[in-house]
Structure 1
Amino acid sequence: MDSDPGPSRRGTSWYEPASLDHDPFTHSAVFYRDEPEYLAHTVPFILDGQAAGEPVAVAVPGPNLRAIQDEVGIRGGRVDEVRWLDMTKAGRNPGRIIPGVLRAFADQHTDRRARIIGEPIWPGRSSSEYPACVQHEALINAAFLGREVTILCPYDAQGLDPVVLADAAATHPIMVDGDRWWRSRDYAPEQVVDAYNTPLTEPASAQEHAVAADQLPLIRRWARQRAAQAGVETDRLDDVTFVVNELVTNSIEHGTGNPRVLAWTTKDAVVFQTTNAGTIPDPLVGRLPATPGQIRGRGLLATNLLTDLVRIHRSDDRTTIRVHFHRAGHPR
């Protein structure tokens, strides 16, 4: 087995990975090409965890979830003791996965090591979702630094683009393929976050609403109407109103330089976007569970938890936040 330690990436920025020999957190990418390979890695991972008395959660797409459940039961595992989540629902918005899935489970078991299988990238993820997916995989390493948690991320080596597999090597310190494992020479999560921090351009059809404190009631009404007209389900209109109000309020309170709010409709979603001259230097803001007494970051956390996709572009002097709410009949 190749045990190449890979490049050292220590520094004083937001991300400072510990040595693989000393950090209790383990984050591995496993490549699979068919169901037998998939089960050969995931099921023993679960059974070994149960044998060690470790709590286990599995968050993968529905068909894979059912295959794992069946095999765990066949092999005598305790199916009812595993937290099972369909990642196409729980993790449709990649920004929701760390606070709403991974940390939500691990933080309930701080007295012992926890095991989690998470498959946030599957064939069929859209080009709009993928940049948020790969940034999520990179940020896991910072979100769990020093924690006694083991996370295994399956990657469909047959169905995914080679670029996705290459990115997996940059976001996971440990790689697994068949019976081989190695330490990734390409591990560079901070660089991945920066590489996918690409500008967000709006379509010519985008409608802009004036932004000012006295415009907030009108903006809330406008956002709700836009969502309803686009076909967003009625039970989600309160979420739309809350999120747009939160983003615009933050633009007014914390930003400068003519903040903007835009809206447009795509074939599967209604999209809102705010831009202001403020900055969010830490890419983990809004991706960690709130702590008691926390003041900053709750609005972006709620945005991640309530929307179907969040994209953020940070520059030295401006921040753009784009949120998607799926229309009825499209994945939520």
Structure 2
Amino acid sequence: MSFDHPGLLYEGVEDYLTATTKFVRGAVAAGDAVLVAVPGPNLTALRDSLSDVAASVDFADMTVAGRNPGRIIPGVLLAFAATHAGRRVSIIGEPIWPGRSAVEYPACAQHEALINAVFTGRDAAILCPYDAGRLDAAAVRDAWQTHPVMIVDGGRQDSPAYVDPIITAAQFNQPLPAVPAGAARQPYSEATDLGRVRRFVAESAARAGLPEARADDLITAANELAENTIVHTPGGGVMAMWTEPGTLVCQIDDHGHLADPLAGRIPAPAHIEGGRGLLLAHHLCDLVRIHTTASGTTIRLHMTL
């Protein structure tokens, strides 16, 4: 089995379609299970260009399926591979596009690095396009770090910047901006505090105007993470909530250290109890940012209003 994870630098629609349709047609001809998960406009262009083989390809809008970058490995890539167990999978995944915000970007780049750790030894190919003409130069430079091979002007070349993916992912374990002075706060330290935590989140979500179904998602995610604090860390934690333009933010701070960079990215086996709190938060929230050190961990949940 072999894993291939090339980054594709493209400029313009024609350049994009030339490389991506070649990848898909080759994979279909080889009998691979094929998934195309790219942002909406590119998805439309690719679907139209692949109409003759579309019946052999799964399509997903990455702005929906991968709205939270932390959801892509478990909810898109591994889920697709599991559905086609025993077959080689070939995937186009485009998690970074013009319009991704500065707060989203570190989670996107970390995701790209961690793909290498998760899929090493698997029979898979994941092609990651980068719009080199419109993305920031820093995003293009990072692509050379997170992909062992790059495709430039139609040619493949080994990336001289690629190193151990865990080391690269650690570069994006970045401190988060300070909690606003006016944010509401709720400390907790025991299991009996979880009811107060849920009410705190529910009341904050109602004040912010978060729809009820999405509020339920946030309550579930926050409760799971608070329970993780109580079970796995000393001294309890503090939850804070506030709004930013178009977003409700919930932050959990505790004194634990999240040592495994793949935590929340790989589903726990069905026979193992627990270990799903962070995975669930990734699934339910629009963005999850994490900063962890030896002295404590911050997890920030974002919900679009």
**TM-score interval w.r.t. the shorter chain?**
over 0.9
Distance between the aligned counterparts of 1:258 and 1:98, measured in 2? 30
Q: Which residue of 2 aligns with 1:50?
A: 28
Counterpart for residue 183 of structure 2: 206
Q: 1:284 aligns with which of 227, 242, 262?
A: 262
Q: Does 1:130 align with 2:105?
A: yes
2:83 counterpart SS class: coil
CA shift digits 1:114-146 (9 cap, x unpaired)? 100000000010111000000000000011110
Q: Tell me whether 85-94 or 205-214 shows the greater mean CA deviation.
A: 205-214
Alignment partner, residue 105 of structure 1: 80
2:298 is aligned with 1:320: yes
TM score, norm. by length of structure 1: 0.88
The root-mean-square deviation of aligned C-alpha atoms, in Å, is 1.2
The one of 42, 55, 59 equivalent to 1:80 is 55
* 1:206 shift after superposition: 1.8
Please name the residue that 1:149 is paired with: 124
Q: Is the 8 A contact 1:270 1:326 kept in 2?
A: yes
Per-residue deviation, 1:258: 4.3
Which residue among 237, 250, 259 is the counterpart of 1:272? 250
Runs of 4+ in 1 over 3 A off after TM superposition: none
| Residue 167 (structure 2) aligns with | 191
Deviates more, 1:139-148 or 1:254-263: 254-263
Offset of 1:220 from its aligned partner? 0.5
Please give the alpha-carbon distance, in whole angstroms, between the structure 2 residues aligned to 1:296 and 1:165. 38
How many Å apart are 1:280 and its aligned residue? 1.5
Which residue identity lines up with residue 266 of structure 1 in the other structure? E
Q: How many equivalent residue pairs? A: 302
Amino acid at match of 1:287: R
| Aligned residue in 2 for 1:306 | 284
* Residue aligning to 2:16: 38
**1:166 aligned onto 2:132:** no
Percent sequence identity is: 47
Secondary structure (helix, strand or coil) at the match of 1:210 reads strand
1 or 2, which has the higher strand percentage?
A: 2
Which runs of 5 or more residues in structure 1 are unaligned? 1-22, 328-332
Report the Cα offset of residue 72 of structure 1.
Answer: 0.7
- Runs of 5+ consecutive residues of structure 2 not aligned to the other structure: none
**Mean CA deviation greater in 251-260 or 96-105:** 251-260
Higher deviation after alignment, 149-158 or 229-238: 229-238
Residue 17 of structure 1 corresponds to none
Q: Please state whether the residue corresponding to 2:5 is helix, strand or coil.
A: strand
Name which of 76, 95, 99 aligns with 2:70.
Answer: 95
In structure 2, what is the Cα distance between the partners aligned to 1:160 and 1:256?
42
Cα distance, 1:191 vs structure 2:
2.8
- Give, in angstroms, the shift of residue 279 of structure 1: 1.4
- The CA distance in 1 between the partners of 2:119 and 2:267, in whole Å, is 12
CA contact (8 A) 2:98 2:135 kept: yes
